[in-house]
Amino acid sequence: MTNKIGWNLDNSYTRLPQIFYTSLTPEPVEFPKLAILNERLAETLGLDAEALKGEGGVSVFAGNQIPEGASPLSQAYAGHQFGHFNMLGDGRAILLGEQITPEGERFDIQLKGPGSTPYSRGGDGRAALGPMLREYIISEAMHALGIPTTRSLAVATTGEAVIRETHLPGAVLTRIAASHLRVGTFQFAAAYGKPEELRALADYAIKRHYPDIEGDENPYLSLLREVVKRQASLIAKWQLVGFIHGVMNTDNMTISGETIDYGPCAFMNEYDPATVFSSIDTQGRYSYGNQPGIGGWNLSRFAESLLVLIDDDQEKAVELAQDVITGYPKLYTQNWLSGMRAKLGLFNEDSEDEALIQELLDLMQKQRADYTNTFRSLTLGKTEGEDLFSTPEFAKWNDKWQDRLGRQEQSKEDSQELMRNNNPSVIPRNHRVEEALAAAVERADYTVTEKLLSALSKPYAYLAEQEEYCALPVPSGVPYRTYCGT
């Protein structure tokens, strides 16, 4: 029985107007099998990890069985995809319900890849093992890095093939999120719903994510302000670790401030703001350097969707919303600068810090230096052997940095500790992720994935056993490309 596992599900989303979802059940698969289970996360959710490994748990993860208390549905939303507005929705995802943890927290339990939905747009609603494992690995690495993110509870194989460019093993990911409310959900309500339906959605988002603003004079303006704050913080965190989302459409920006939808994502090796990995981002719209600006663009679309709620006088509503949106670049820069100071061991603020940071980044770009390993080397005080560190320009910069470190009360040891806590030693290197996926897809060998996940679980620990995961890939003349998996 699935209830012995510890399911404690509520379905608050079903209490929204019917326009926002379609109730349906997953399509069963023939030979479900557990590929990987996040036991620690399961326990945090109040679930019995051992029981989840049994038939009852695997049946839920594959979509063959609905846990007690669930009311499965697919969510409707819209969104700007590469700047173009489209009606979308969960094309291959079904929300089972919201698990209430022993601490009273609420988390969406969503299956990704359990079959077609009314929003599949001609697709089969299925997912391949490789992309689902990629999301598992990257999302758990992001969590370990301290970056707000959806989580991965499990991946189950289906025993059935999905057809993409070729036949691939099918799988279903169980994703955990504070919620799946997106900027695109609000765009959908504004474009296709009635004002009272939009208001119901906004009230729901406030109650679920920002209850402190419920009593504000203008709670909808406050909602915009809070989402702007969360996204400014989130995108700065992405930039600080060299993470490239790859597909920052408005339907992939959450109201909660969590990273969502790990499709063509990857981590940057050589520092270059123009870096793009996604095979479909041919114009570089979502390049590393463009991410902060795209965040602001997406938030402007969110503001537009709220205008009718912010004020009855639309001119005044626009003025109020613009005032909030124009504050985003400053908020982002404050978050980014604060993080970069920490990466360089700086506790206090100096007017010349931004120039010092930019000078280092320019040197890294010129020397094609690895982003993560450069900061790792600075943290360890090992500035030899790399092309960057042997240049006269770096020596000059290093003198400025040492002088700047001397202009604060904290000791050298304090600075080094600050740097260790903010410069990861390991990230999900693209070649290591591909190595893990290949072992799983080609040989059903999950030990490579498990070993990688173990190394990524403590990115700031600087452990000896993590050393092999710091190594760069063998140089290749072929640029690394990532794919959506749909």
For the annotated catalytic residues, the residue numbers are 251
Residue type, 250: T
H or E element, residue 81: strand 78-81
End-to-end CA distance of the chain: 33
d(CA 201, CA 243): 31
DSSP string for residues in 159-188: EEEEESSSEEEEEEEEEEES---BHHHHHH
Distance of CA 134 to CAs 157, 369, 483, Å?
14, 26, 11
d(CA 383, CA 342): 19
Calculate ∠ Cα 480-270-298, nearest 5°. Answer: 75
Q: What is the dihedral of CA 444, 445, 451, 457, to 10 degrees?
A: 10
- Is the distance from CB of 133 to CB of 36 less than 8 angstroms? yes
Helix axes 430-443, 129-144, angle to 10 degrees: 140
DSSP for residue 126: B
